[in-house]
Structure 1
Amino acid sequence: MTRRDFAAFAAAPAVGAQPAAQIDPALIRRHDESVERLLRMQIADVKDPNCGGYADAFGFFSASTGGAILDTYVAALVCPASRFYKSNEVMQRAGLAAGYLRRKQHDDGTIDLYITNFHSTPDLAFTIHNVASAALLAKLNNLTALFGEMEPFLRKAGDALVRGGVHTPNHRWVTCEALSQMNEVMPDARFVRRAEQWLAEGIDIDADGQFNERSTTVYNTVSDKALLVTALKLGKPELLDPVRRNLEAMMYLVHPNGEVVTEISRRQDQYERAGMERYWLPLRYLAIKDSNGRFAEMARRVEPRGAWLSAYLRFPELAQPLPASAPLPEDYHKLMPAVEIARIRRGQMSASVLLNGNSRFFAMRNGECVVQAVRFASAFFGKGQFRPAKWERTADGYRMTQSMEGPYYQPLDPPRKVEASDWDKVRGLRPRSEVQKMEYRVEVKEAKGRRGGFTIEIAAEGTAGVPLAVEVNLREGVQVEGAAPAPGAQNASILKSGYAVARSGKDTIRFGPGFAEHSYTQVRGAEPRLPGESVYLCGFTPLRRVLEFDAPA
């Protein structure tokens, strides 16, 4: 940017920026802290081949960092309440980031995600979300020279977006968001046509309001934001409906402390811990648009960590006041049959019954005291881990079942030579004998007369005398009282009789009664012990035990 360009910008009023009174000053302070951090991290030496970027935790200089820098810098440059409003230094650094992006772009317009994807259109689309945001704000505020620095990257990216493919269901909507932003910044009918090609496939949302990947802390949020932005930029209000449905479903997938249920995810966030912060944009937008009090309450809760400045600058609607809050669901029993999960909340008690074939078929928490999983396995031929194959709703709960066989194999008939490498290939040709059978059944019910309590009946019948171990796994930091150390295993104990109490601060969960007919806890063929303390209850088949779990108020 020349001195003349900067002087013209410095003299011009901000366009597109909301009045400072309408944006939380704390958000602007946090944004300015991000600018300061990026100024320290960004390489400013023009002789360095990575000038304009910075290395990530792996030492990679990725194109995506250039997009994040631009989005952060330009939002500060055009926001009158920012300490970096019309900052010459930030303006120059933004130009370096644009140059870095151009150097990181392939001739075909794509970029690389070094940890997995190369010449990747989807990762280009993710980066375009930030770059097009910066370009729009630059264009609205007459930052002509800076826009010109970004334009070559955007034009090559546009060519890639209209022809490139995807890997995953959410990538379609990510690409549509990028195309809709590109069309706003530099209109081109190709962008709209390509977006409509992807949208013609229909949105991958099920009857329970979950997208195909069921990724409750990552790709749900990606899809919600992408569909919201595409709806607004391309004038397609029908795309807001799946966003609403997903947000409504998520109201029942939140624990009392704000953590999200992630057991249902089919992606990398399964079992990870995160909150609803990444849902902030669709929550706030639809709370205002629909006067939805529940969305408003959740938006208020996540805004301190979930809001970002450029969204306010790009979508003036967000500056309108939120409607009055309505209570979030805190007392319910909700079955989601398509997702195959039952969610139960009774105030501070939150429980999940996993019906989807997950070995962790039950999880429960009372405040900060967390039972991460209840599961079991027998020593049945090294394949005795219970993973429900079928489930049904009963009059007062849920029944899950699994059937297994453990055969022995006879010589081939007629006899034939078996090469060493063919052992597994011919197994199905052998006559079977001494076939052993195992039938598992689990029933989970809310306890009658014990609010916040459950009974879990575990039955294993068939071949007799098979060792079995039930595992009650506690989150790291949760202490257990009433169980004895398990021999030969770390962070493991056995509940021999009576009841154990799991404790985290003032919050407790009481469970039992225990049984210990043996001490074989690390069963061969079972899934590895989970992090945290595991309490085992050990018996032999045939087995039928009823366990109680209670969350005192």
Structure 2
Amino acid sequence: MDYRDEVIAAARESATEVDPHALAHRGLMERVKLLVGLAILDLAPAASAAPFLDALERRQLRSGLFAGGDNVESPPDSAFTAGDVCDALEIIRRHPSAALDPIGARLELIADHLEPPLLVGGVHTPNHRWEISAALARLHRRRPSGALVDRIDAWLAEGVDIDADGMYSERSPNYAAFVTNPSLTVIAEILGRPDLDAIVQRNLAATLPLIRADGTVETVHSRRQDQGRRFSAAAYITAFRRAALRTGDGRFAWAAEVARSEGIAHPATALAELLLEPQLAQPLPRAVAPVSAVHRYAASSLVVDRSEVRTLVVYGGSDHARAGRIRSGLANDPTFLRLLGDDVALESVRLSRTFFGLGPFRAQRLDGMRLQETVAAWYYQPLGSAGALDLEDEGRFSAEMSFSRRAADRVEMTTTIDVEPTTTGARVVIDVAGPIAPWALELAFSPGGAFEGLADDGRFGSAAVRYQHGGQAIVFRADGESAADAPAAYHPGEEYAYLGGSDAVAAPRAYLTGWSPGRRVVELRVE
């Protein structure tokens, strides 16, 4: 089945009966867009879109924005729906149909009411700037307006937030695939801005080494909700196809094939893109798979080392040291190492310490393959005088103690981890300097496999342990035994525990336990 037929088949399959009342405005308009596309192809009656359009009209407020979601009368959330409104209108314009004229007329009125608030509306995340700009560009395509172009230019004057490595500031595959890249592509096409196309291709090229053998894209460095979660490459299918066809680059063709093997994730959007860009269905250039190499993302403190046998991911780009807190929009993941084979994966290596509730190791710097962090807590001395005490935050907690006025004794712990790659895995050297305190190194594996040689309590030591999954195994051992009196458990730190939460990995796990100060070595390999 060629790509066009595959998209159409997926679109038809997704056009199942849905209650319009169960959908928010974005889901309603996506449904309208899907049914308009199918109607153009004579695969659905035009009237089937009407109930969803009825519900969408009821969601539009007097301001022109839409009701629904956590963000109240949100310009950026409404911009997503505006984009689908305008794309549906453009599809109808390019494929005239008397049956769709009533749908088009109603969509025009929705767009008329959306344009004024989007022209002046604000944002609160980096990608929103480009989503709103893309909506404005589509509105300009519908009905040219200098005011719309001026507003887009005002957003673009800030500069697109892409670093020297080709990563956007959110470092998120989800937002790159679904928002920033599609938005910049639309603006580039409508306003004639090839510089924006070049930015998209830079990001796609930077994404290539992050595509894993299981069809997902690395997320450990992300600053958004996808950090630490599996994210399918399927979301990139149109972007990689477009890039491969425009540049002839076989690496993009390879990525497009990987994305396609994951299925058509959003059939409504894929169908709309095909109707607007029929050339996307053309045959791709010959695919060229990535070669073994070391890829460094300096701004994200991320290294991806790919050999013929395994992929090693080393990460030291947490924002925790700089921000001093766990927060939405920051990179919080304490995973510092992954070891990936074709069938088996060591998904997360973390170092948990019992040290003043400060949480797991999160590197403050990555130098080559050396990760390092220093954390500290204080014992406070008496003020020596009476008086009112101020409620202050001292970094770990708050109290009516006037911490800033007191002399303090500093207690610190410095952790250094050296990752020494091998052709089949890595040698990991852990050095913890500081007071006597227990720690646990946690190895979390892809679900569905089985351990051989692991102790009943989950600890490992000098005897080799295997984790078998499919046709491969990861074998691991340490240079000595686990400390029986150190807890074999992960502690997320007071920031999570105080709220009754955790960022623990739900997966088969093994632990090496010990006490600081000291040095330990762990060997890992894929077989």
CA contact (8 A) 1:473 1:535 kept: yes
Task: Note the C-alpha offset of 1:78.
Answer: 1.1
Cα deviation code 1:109-167 (max 9, x no counterpart): 111342x1111111111012221111112223334332112111010111121111111
Residue number in structure 1 paired with 2:376: 405
SS in 2 for 1:497: coil
Residue type matched to 1:507 in 2? Q
Secondary structure of the structure 1 residue equivalent to 2:31: helix
SS in 2 for 1:542: strand
Q: Which moved more, 1:202-211 or 1:23-32?
A: 23-32
Q: Are the aligned partners of 1:253 and 1:260 in contact in 2 as well (CA < 8 Å)?
A: yes
1:41 maps to 18
Equivalent residue, structure 1, for 2:321: none
Give the structure 1 partner of residue 212 of structure 2: 255
Q: Is structure 2 residue 109 aligned with structure 1 residue 125?
A: no
Amino acid at match of 1:498: A
In the superposition, the TM-score normalised over structure 2's length comes to 0.87
Range with bigger deviation, 466-475 or 501-510: 466-475
How big is each residue's C-alpha offset from its partner over 1:464-514, in whole Å with a ceiling of 9 and x where there is no partner? x3222211122332322222122xxxxxx1114312111112211111125
CA distance in 1, matches of 2:79, 2:377: 50
- Give the equivalent residue in structure 2 for 1:70: 32
State which of 232, 256, 259 in structure 2 corresponds to 1:275.
232
Q: Structure 1 length as normaliser, TM-score?
A: 0.83
Q: 1:208 aligns with which of 133, 143, 165?
A: 165
Percent of paired sites with the same residue? 28
The 1-side partners of 2:281 and 2:489 are apart by 56
- Partners in 2 of 1:500 and 1:140 — Cα distance? 62
State the alpha-carbon separation in 2 of the partners of residues 76 and 423 from structure 1.
62
Using the TM superposition, give the Cα deviation of residue 536 of structure 1 relative to its aligned residue in structure 2, in angstroms: 1.1
- What CA distance in whole angstroms lies between the structure 1 residues aligned with 2:390 and 2:166? 52
**Alignment-derived partner of residue 530 in structure 1:** 505
Which residue of 443, 452, 462 maps to 1:472?
443
- 1:502 equivalent in alignment to 2:461: no
Structure 2: gaps spanning 5 or more residues: 319-332, 393-397, 497-501
Q: What is the number of residues matched between the two proteins? A: 490
- Structure 2 letter corresponding to 1:466: A
Structure 1 residues 362 and 166, CA gap change in structure 2 (3 angstroms): same
Post-superposition shift, 1:107? 1.0
Shift of 1:420: 9.0
What CA distance in whole angstroms lies between the structure 1 residues aligned with 2:83 and 2:417? 47
Contact 1:112 1:123 in 2 (8 A): no
Asked whether the equivalents of residues 379 and 525 of structure 1 are also in contact (C-alpha less than 8 Å), the reply is: no
- Specify the alignment match of 1:428 in structure 2: 404
**Aligned ranges 1:101-112 → 2 under 5 Å:** 101-112=56-67
Tell me, yes or no, if the aligned pair for 1:211 and 1:220 is still in contact at 8 Å: no
The structure with the largest alpha-carbon Rg is: 1
Which residue number in structure 1 is paired with residue 258 of structure 2?
Answer: 301
Say if 2:520 is the partner of 1:545. yes
Aligned-partner SS, 1:258: coil
- Which of 159, 166, 186 in structure 1 is aligned with 2:123? 166
Opposite residue 83 of structure 1, the aligned amino acid is: L
Is 1:356 the counterpart of 2:317? The answer is: yes
Residues 62, 113 of structure 1: 8 Å contact kept: yes
Retained in 2: the 8 A contact 1:361–1:374?
yes
- Could you tell me how far apart the structure 1 residues matched to 2:93 and 2:490 are? 64
Q: Which amino acid aligns with 2:427?
A: T
2:295 paired with 1:334: yes
**Which of residues 354, 366, 385 is equivalent to 1:379?**
354
Check the 8 A contact 2:177/2:235 in 1, yes or no. Answer: no
Other-structure match for 1:460: 432
Pair 1:391–1:320, CA change in 2 (3 A): closer
Unmatched segments (≥5 aa) in structure 1: 1-20, 43-52, 56-60, 85-89, 487-492
In the alignment, the residues of structure 1 paired with residue 384 and residue 492 of structure 2 have an alpha-carbon distance, to the nearest angstrom, of 31
Give the superposed CA RMSD: 2.3
Report 1:191-270 matches (<5 A): 191-270=148-227
Establish whether residue 521 from structure 1 lines up as the match of residue 488 from structure 2. yes
Q: Check whether the contact 1:349–1:364 (CA below 8 A) recurs between aligned residues.
A: yes
Deviation of 1:294 (Å): 1.3
3-state SS in 2 of match to 1:466:
strand
Q: CA distance change for structure 1 residues 301 and 442 in 2, over 3 Å: closer, same or farther? A: closer
CA distance, structure 1, for counterparts of residue 280 and residue 492 of structure 2: 53
In the TM superposition, what is the alpha-carbon distance from 1:305 to its structure 2 partner? Answer: 1.9
Structure-2 residue corresponding to 1:12: none
Is residue 138–residue 146 contact of structure 1 (8 Å, CA) maintained in 2? no
Q: What is the CA distance between 1:24 and its match in structure 2? A: 2.9
Counterpart contact for 2:4–2:274, Cα < 8 Å: no
Asked whether the equivalents of residues 391 and 401 of structure 2 are also in contact (C-alpha less than 8 Å), the reply is no
Partner of 2:286: 324
Moved more, 315-324 or 240-249: 315-324
Contact 1:481 1:502 in 2 (8 A): yes
Secondary structure of 2:96's aligned partner: coil
Greater Cα shift, 66-75 or 528-537: 528-537
Other-structure match for 1:344: 305
TM-aligned CA distance change 1:405 to 1:165, over 3 Å: closer
Q: What secondary structure does 2:174 align onto?
A: coil
One-letter amino acid of the counterpart of residue 462, structure 1: G
